[in-house]
Amino acid sequence: MASTPESRVILSPKSAAGEILTTRRAATRVIFSPKGGTSKELARLIKAAKKEIVVAVYAFSSKYLGQALSAALKRGVKIRIILDGDNARKAYSIDEWLAGEGIEVRFITVKGGNMHHKLMLIDCKILVTGSYNFTNESEFRNYEAAIFTNNKALLQSFTAEFERLWCQCAPVEFPVTPPSDTGADCSS
């Protein structure tokens, strides 16, 4: 299979964190953690989004990134999130909070495994992938990598994968807490 110039983005050992590597048509950048500023860059990209953000991550517990997505939703940006079903049921996950904000959240359960993707697609123009989960641990404690690219072939592949997974998931139904009785008579 012949390689096109767009698909030949090479991250060499000499590449500095955050350096933008380009080919004729694509730019790729990597940010390393801990404390590399990945969450700040993600929040900046979320704030700049115009149409849609899709996310598939194993773990989502960062309230900072959740708030950025919630603000984007309030601006009219469509937000869809897929989480690993087993991991999302853990106490530290903010899946219920995200859904409560109006964000479409779906769980996927893999028999004998995990949905271990870490990807975000912004307006079908930017892909973020790597080892970085949407957690404080990924930002402040773990050694992680987040790759940012506008490579069209990768955007198409990751978009197709997200849509394939989205179709396998049923919408998540979270328990709704009924409003407390205020004693007011609303029958009139």
Residue 142 sits in a domain whose CATH number is: 3.30.870.10
pLDDT score recorded for residue 176: 54
The helix (H) or strand (E) run that includes residue 96 is helix 95-100
Range with the poorest average pLDDT among 9-18, 50-59, 142-151, 168-177: 9-18
Average pLDDT, the chain: 84
- Residue 188 included in any domain: no
For residue 120, the Cα-to-chain-centroid distance in whole angstroms is: 4
Report residue 10's pLDDT band, with 50, 70 and 90 as the boundaries. very low
Per-residue pLDDT of 26-61, as tens digits, reads: 799 999 999 999 999 999 999 999 999 999 999 999
pLDDT score recorded for residue 182: 44
- Where in the sequence is the domain holding 76, given as residue range(s)? 37-168
pLDDT score recorded for residue 157: 97
Nearest CA to 45 among 151, 118, 154, 148? 148
pLDDT score recorded for residue 71: 98
- For the sheet containing 27-33, what is the strand order? 20-22, 27-33, 144-149, 126-130, 118-122, 52-57, 78-84, 104-108
- Residue 30 included in any domain: no
- CA–CA gap between residue 119 and residue 124 (Å, rounded): 12
- CA–CA gap between residue 143 and residue 34 (Å, rounded): 6
The total domain count for the chain is 1
- Residue 61 included in any domain: yes
What is the pTM assigned to this prediction? 0.81
CB contact at 8 A, 113 and 1: no
- DSSP letter at 13 equals T
